[in-house]
């Protein structure tokens, strides 16, 4: 456990020092900061515009940071040969992988926390919303954090056997398709005219790939007024789902990494 902890804390330190991540983070914070000014363009629905734009920036920037942060983690260690120093100590490969992953998740937590904090402060300062809406935004930010933690697991899994460039596109692709799953399934389910084979395929893909759209609960936040029953159970369900999928990806990653020659 000590080995995992020290690897993860080192990883957080490395992540914070990486300029490319800091630049992306700064751009994210900057974009979130200008959103309140943008909303005045839509006099009739400025709250809607503000919330949807802020959440859009938060999600996109978080996803970008998660992919850029994780795709280089394992390959960089191998390329710089620092992995030999680590593995020559009493550290198992699985501990190295888990430590790296947890470090990435912690770094992501810090970065998303910063962006979410700026978002909430600006939202409160400019729009003076009721506390429930602030909490709604916070809940969505937490779900985005779980979403990118899952994405980081996807990227870590791929990084055990593909190059960073390929991993970048693979992870982005998996996130893209995973974000499509619920809306696509929903759209086909609503459209009785769609072919049964396409609907069947949509269901099959939904069962196989990690479903990132489960974490996208912003619609009732943007358009309030709908009472949702048992929302906490849903949040726990999505967290559990994320944990299960992360377990799958990390175990698969361990199994592959264990056989890999470094």
Q: How many residues does the chain have?
A: 262
- Phi, psi values for residue 85, rounded to 5°: -60, -40
Q: Which of 169, 172, 216, 256 binds other proteins (CB under 8 A)?
A: 216
Q: Which of 1, 41, 131, 197 binds other proteins (CB under 8 A)?
A: 41
Going by the DSSP 8-state scheme, the letter that residue 213 receives in this structure is: G
| 195 contacts other proteins (rule: CB under 8 A) | no
Contact 11, 18 (CB under 8 A): no
The one segment of 5-13, 81-89, 107-115, 186-194 that binds other proteins by CB under 8 A: 186-194
Shortest distance, CB of residue 34 to other proteins, whole angstroms? 13
Sign of CA dihedral 18, 20, 24, 30: positive
d(CA 155, CA 132): 35
The one segment of 25-33, 52-60, 64-72, 166-174 that binds other proteins by CB under 8 A: 52-60
Residues 185-191: contacts with CB under 8 Å, at least 24 apart: none
Q: For residue 92, give the 3-state DSSP assignment.
A: coil
Q: Report the residue number, 88 or 190, with the smaller CB distance to other proteins.
A: 190
The one segment of 3-11, 39-47, 67-75, 114-122 that binds other proteins by CB under 8 A: 39-47
| 44 contacts other proteins (rule: CB under 8 A) | yes
d(CA 147, CA 143): 6
Q: Which of 23, 26, 34, 186 binds other proteins (CB under 8 A)?
A: 186
Burial of 241 (0-12, 13-18, 19+ CB in 10 A): middle
The one segment of 54-62, 82-90, 113-121, 128-136 that binds other proteins by CB under 8 A: 54-62
Distances from the Cα of 68 to the Cαs of 63, 171, 183, 202, in angstroms? 9, 10, 26, 29
Q: For residue 195, give the 3-state DSSP assignment.
A: coil
The one segment of 21-29, 123-131, 154-162, 226-234 that binds other proteins by CB under 8 A: 226-234
Shortest distance, CB of residue 176 to other proteins, whole angstroms? 7
Q: Report the residue number, 94 or 124, with the smaller CB distance to other proteins.
A: 94
Q: Which chain residues interact with other proteins by CB under 8 A?
A: 38, 41-45, 48-49, 52-53, 55-56, 59, 176, 179-180, 182-191, 193-194, 206-207, 211-214, 216-220, 222-223, 225-228, 231, 234, 237-238, 240-241, 244-245, 247-248, 251-252, 254-255
């Amino acid at each position: 456990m000590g080995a995992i902890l020290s690897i993860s804390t080192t990883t957080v330190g490395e992540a914070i020092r990486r300029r490319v991540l800091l630049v992306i983070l700064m751009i994210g914070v900057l974009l979130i900061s200008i959103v309140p000014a943008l909303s005045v363009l839509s006099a009739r629905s400025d709250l809607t515009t503000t919330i949807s734009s802020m959440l859009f920036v938060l999600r996109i920037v978080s996803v970008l940071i998660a992919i850029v942060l994780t795709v280089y983690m394992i390959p960089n260690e191998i390329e710089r040969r620092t992995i030999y120093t680590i593995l020559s100590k009493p550290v198992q490969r699985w501990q190295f992988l888990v430590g790296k992953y947890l470090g990435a998740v912690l770094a992501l937590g810090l970065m998303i926390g910063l962006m979410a904090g700026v978002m909430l402060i600006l939202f409160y300062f400019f729009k003076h919303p009721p506390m429930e809406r602030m909490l709604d935004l916070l809940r969505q930010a937490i779900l985005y954090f779980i979403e990118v933690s899952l994405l980081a697991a996807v990227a870590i899994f791929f990084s055990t056997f593909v190059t960073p460039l390929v991993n970048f596109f693979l992870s982005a692709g998996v996130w893209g398709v995973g974000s499509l799953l619920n809306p696509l399934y929903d759209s086909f389910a609503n459209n009785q005219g769609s072919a049964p084979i396409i609907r069947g395929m949509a269901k099959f893909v939904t069962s196989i790939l990690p479903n990132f759209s489960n974490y996208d609960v912003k619609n009732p936040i943007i358009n309030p007024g709908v009472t949702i029953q048992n929302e906490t159970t849903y949040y726990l369900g999505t967290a559990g789902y994320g944990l299960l999928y992360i377990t799958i990806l990390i175990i698969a990653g361990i199994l592959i990494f264990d056989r890999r020659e470094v």
